[in-house]
Structure 1
Amino acid sequence: MTQAERDLESAEEPVSSVLDGVTRDILRELKDDPTHWAVFLDIDGTLLELALTPDAIIVPPSLPDDLDRLRERLQGAMALVTGRALAYADQLFTPHRFPLAGLHGAEIRDCNGNTALASITPEFEALKQAIAREAESMPGVLIEDKGAAVAAHYRLAPDYQQVLAERMQHYVREAGPGWALQLGKMVFEIRPARSSKGDAVEFFMQQAAFANRRPLAFGDDLTDESMFSVVNARGGHAVRVGNLAAPSCAAGRAPSPVFVREAIAAIVAGNH
C-alpha cells in the first residue's frame, strides 16, 4: 500500500506529517463520493517532478490513464491548468485529451473539445528571436518558445538571475500592454496579460460538468496563486505541493508530485 493510500484509508491522524487533515479528508471523500468536487491540477512540479530542462520531464506510464479515470470518476469535472502550451501538454498525456488551460489560461479547451488559442503577432515572434539571441551570451540559460509566450530558464545558470530579471522586464515593456512578466521557479516568462490560471478556473466553473461543485486545486508555484485565490473565494480548497515553507494562500499542503500521483491512483483504484 502506498503512502497516499494509507493516508486516505486512515481515520486517525495522517501517516504523512506534512499532509494536513483537511486535505486528507477531502481526498478520502473523492474516493468515496466525488460528486461534490471539481479538480484542477497543475502539471510541472505538481503532477510531474521538475527537471533541469523543460523537455527533460518524465511522465510515469500509468499517469495518463489514471487522469482519464479520475475525469470519469468526477463525471468530467477535472481540468489541467498549466503554463505549458496546450499542444505540448497534450503530448505529455497522449492519447487522452483533457479539459485544459495552457499558457496560464491564455489557451483553453473546454469539456466539449472546443479550443481557443492565443494569437502570435509578427512583433512577438521578433521579440522571441531577440531574447534567444541575447541568451546565447548567457551559458546555461535556456529559452523556451511556447508559441504565444516565451520563458527564460536559469536553473542551470542561477548567477544570471538578476540580469535576466532586468532584461525580461525590458522585453515585456517592449512587448506592450498586452503582455505580462510571470515569475516562477527559476524562470522568467513573458505571457499574454489577458488571462491567468484563476481566470481559467472561473471559465471551467461555468461549464455544466463543473457547475455546483466545490473547486479543489493542486499547484506548486507562484504561477498557481491566482488559481488558489479563486478556489478559496468559491469556498473550495487549495493545496500547495512541495515547498511547505513557501508563503501561499493555499490552506492545504502535500509533500510531492509522487504523493499527488499516488493519491490519484488510490482514488481511481476501484474504477477499472
Structure 2
Amino acid sequence: MSYQEHPKEDEQASARSAEEVLSRLTLQPRNWALFLDIDGTLIDLAETPDSIVVPLDLPENLHGLSLKLGGALALVTGRALAYADRLFAPYEFPLAGLHGSERRSASGAVSRVETGKAFEDLKTALAEEARAWPGVLIEDKGSAVAAHYRQAPAQRETVEAAMPRYLDMAGADFTLQRGKMVAEIRPARASKGHALKAFLDEAPFKGRRPIAIGDDVTDEAMFRVANELGGHSIRIAETEAGTDAKFILPSAHALRTIIAALADSGKSVSA
C-alpha cells in the first residue's frame, strides 16, 4: 500500500512517505519520540465513546515499540487519563489526557488542571438542558465536558449554539474545542501542543525529535509544535485538505499495521 505525502512538503522530498518516516523509530530509536492520539488514530471511531473496540494485539504492540524507543512513546488524547489506561491495560504509558489538562510523565508523576465548583455546576446545567436534545451524549470528563452528536447529527446546530453560552459561564480560563461530531469545553491553558512540549522537557523524551500522529482538528496544535521543533506530523485522514500535518495515512488500521511491524523487528514496515 502506498501512502501519499502531504503536498506542502518540498518536491525534492516527494519520495518520502509516512511509513518511511515511521521506520526511523527503529532505525534511529534514540533520535525520535512518538506521540499518538487514541480515538480515530490508534482505534477506529465508534458511535459512542464507550463503544470503541481495542484490537487485542494493540497494547502489546505499543509496549513493544515503546521498549525499542527507550520509553519515548506517549499517548496524547482527549480521553481522561484513567479511562485511557483501561484501554491499554496492563500497560501504562506516559499520557496526556483531556487535551493536556492532565498529564502523567514517564516517571509516573501526575499533574492536573484544577477547575472548581462553578465548573461542576456548569456540567450539571448542561446535562439537564441536554435532556431535550435526543441522541446527544454529554460526557463528563472531570476538568472538561463534551457534547457528542454523532448519533444525532440533526442536533448539530442546537449543540453548536448552546456550547458557546456554556463557555461564557465557564469564564476566561476555559476554551471551546470542536472535533468530529463533538464540542468540548476544556481548560484554556492546556492543549495537545503544550503537552508535547512538556514531555520533550523530560527524560526519556528530552533531546529527541517528535513524530506526532492524530486524526482531528484537536491534534493540529500537536502537529504544529512537532513541525516547529524539526519533527514530523502525520494525520489519519481520507484526504489531504485542511491540516498542518506533513504526511497522511488513510486509516487507523494502516497505522496499527505499521506499529505492529515496528514492534516486531522481523517484519517489513510496509502495510
TM-score w.r.t. structure 2 length? 0.91
The reply to whether residue 68 of structure 1 matches residue 60 of structure 2 is no
State the 1:120 CA deviation.
3.6
Q: Which residue of 2 aligns with 1:192?
A: 187
Q: Which residue of 1 aligns with 2:139?
A: 144
Once residues 44 and 177 of structure 2 are traced to their aligned partners in structure 1, the CA distance between those partners, rounded to angstroms, is 20
State the 1:118 CA deviation.
2.8
Q: Tell me, what secondary structure is at the counterpart of 1:116? A: strand
Q: Which residue of 2 aligns with 1:7?
A: none
The reply to whether residue 16 of structure 1 matches residue 2 of structure 2 is yes
Aligned pairs for 1:168-247 (under 5 A) are: 168-247=163-242
Residue deviations 1:148-183 (CA, integer Å, cap 9, x gap): 110000111111111211100000011111111000
Once residues 90 and 142 of structure 2 are traced to their aligned partners in structure 1, the CA distance between those partners, rounded to angstroms, is 22
User: Which residue, 117, 121, 125 being the options, matches 1:126?
Assistant: 121
Q: Which residue of 2 aligns with 1:3?
A: none
Once residues 227 and 156 of structure 1 are traced to their aligned partners in structure 2, the CA distance between those partners, rounded to angstroms, is 28
Q: Which residue of 2 aligns with 1:108?
A: 103
Residue deviations 1:222-260 (CA, integer Å, cap 9, x gap): 000000000000010000102323310001101111111
**What is the letter of the counterpart of residue 243 of structure 1?**
E
The reply to whether residue 33 of structure 1 matches residue 28 of structure 2 is yes
**What is the letter of the counterpart of residue 267 of structure 1?**
L
Q: Tell me, what secondary structure is at the counterpart of 2:40? A: coil
Q: Which residue of 2 aligns with 1:97?
A: 92
Structure 2 portions without partners, runs of 5+: 7-15, 267-271
TM-score w.r.t. structure 1 length? 0.91
State the 1:17 CA deviation.
4.3
State the 1:29 CA deviation.
2.3
State the 1:117 CA deviation.
2.2
Once residues 129 and 238 of structure 2 are traced to their aligned partners in structure 1, the CA distance between those partners, rounded to angstroms, is 32
**What is the letter of the counterpart of residue 113 of structure 1?**
G
**What is the letter of the counterpart of residue 16 of structure 1?**
S
State the 1:95 CA deviation.
1.1
Q: Which residue of 2 aligns with 1:256?
A: 251
Q: Is the 8 A contact 2:240 2:248 kept in 1?
A: no
Residue deviations 1:45-89 (CA, integer Å, cap 9, x gap): 000001000100111111111111111110011100000111111
Once residues 25 and 211 of structure 1 are traced to their aligned partners in structure 2, the CA distance between those partners, rounded to angstroms, is 23
Q: Is the 8 A contact 1:82 1:102 kept in 2?
A: yes
Q: Tell me, what secondary structure is at the counterpart of 2:139? A: strand
Aligned pairs for 1:41-56 (under 5 A) are: 41-56=36-51
Q: Is the 8 A contact 2:5 2:246 kept in 1?
A: no
State the 1:34 CA deviation.
1.9
Q: Which runs of 4+ in 1 moved over 6 A?
A: none
Q: Which residue of 1 aligns with 2:157?
A: 162
**What is the letter of the counterpart of residue 215 of structure 1?**
P
State the 1:200 CA deviation.
0.3
Q: Is the 8 A contact 2:234 2:248 kept in 1?
A: yes
Q: Is the 8 A contact 1:220 1:243 kept in 2?
A: no
Q: Is the 8 A contact 2:4 2:17 kept in 1?
A: no
Once residues 17 and 99 of structure 1 are traced to their aligned partners in structure 2, the CA distance between those partners, rounded to angstroms, is 28
Q: Tell me, what secondary structure is at the counterpart of 2:41? A: coil
Once residues 173 and 43 of structure 1 are traced to their aligned partners in structure 2, the CA distance between those partners, rounded to angstroms, is 29
Q: Is the 8 A contact 2:41 2:236 kept in 1?
A: yes
